[in-house]
Amino acid sequence: KAGVTQTPRYLIKTRGQQVTLSCSPISGHRSVSWYQQTPGQGLQFLFEYFSETQRNKGNFPGRFSGRQFSNSRSEMNVSTLELGDSALYLCASSLAGNEQYFGPGTRLTVT
Amino acid sequence: AQSVTQPDIHITVSEGASLELRCNYSYGATPYLFWYVQSPGQGLQLLLKYFSGDTLVQGIKGFEAEFKRSQSSFNLRKPSVHWSDAAEYFCAVGRDNYGQNFVFGPGTRLSVLP
């Protein structure tokens, strides 16, 4: 069974731009969660989608948003990028929210 | 709210030596405890978890962890380290088994000398 895939793996953007990251969960998994990982703040939960609905949300500004499609694939969008948004963005999928399987992440660099 | 500390930022051990990575947590109720490993360029992989029962938990890749309620600790151990164990290790505490409710520790980077 294929694991969680994230695209792109690396991304460079300029301040003020917006970015969309994609996550394809393990087949059959309906929950997708997103995390931000930075050296200063560590791993922080962004949000979780289950059956196309946002079920949980972390403490991030509204510039961070996401959605989930009927095939469980999920996208995360960050608008008006700031330098501090440079991070590794991890996606995790699970059947129902627990027992999470993580993807390799997307490394976003904002210049 | 729960919190996690991992006192060691970086640990270096020789291949074949034993390993112990420390994790201390703060949580008012019985916690759900986890250890994850992250290899360079990879996502996180669950090594083991503790919910209840036997306080010594066996995980994958030869790792084990012991829950000590009196010390609020959940230290990760391996009797003999392999070069492929070099990675970053994260301890996490949650009020349940749902990752959205986890708090992750800052991580401990493990280097292995040949």
* Residues in chain B within 8 Å Cβ distance of A99: 46, 97
Rounded percentage of chain B residues whose pLDDT exceeds 70: 96
Domain enclosing residue B81, as ranges: 3-113
Q: How far apart are the first and last CA of chain B?
A: 41
pLDDT digits (tens, 9 = 90+) for A28-40: 999 999 999 998 8
CB-count exposure of residue B22 (10 Å: 0-12, 13-18, 19+): middle
pLDDT at residue A97, as a whole number:
64
pLDDT digits (tens, 9 = 90+) for B16-72: 999 999 999 998 787 889 999 999 878 899 999 998 888 999 999 999 999 999 999
Q: Measured between CA atoms, how close is A101 to chain B, in angstroms?
A: 7
A69 pLDDT band, cuts 50/70/90, is: very high
3-state secondary structure of B83: helix
Q: Measured between CA atoms, how close is B63 to chain A, in angstroms?
A: 18
pLDDT at A6 > cutoff 90: yes
DSSP string, B44-80: EEEEEEE-SS-SEEE-GGG-EEEEEGGGTEEEEEESS
Q: How many domains does chain B have?
A: 1
A78-82, B19-23, B92-96: least confidently modelled range: B92-96
* Residues in chain B within 8 Å Cβ distance of A102: 43-45
pLDDT at residue A63, as a whole number:
97
Spatial CB neighbours of A35, under 8 Å, sequence gap ≥ 6: A43, A44, A45, A46, A89, A90, A91, A92
pLDDT at B99 > cutoff 70: no
CATH number at residue B29: 2.60.40.10
E-only strand ranges, A1-111: 5-7, 10-13, 19-24, 31-38, 42-50, 53-57, 64-68, 74-78, 87-94, 101-102, 106-110
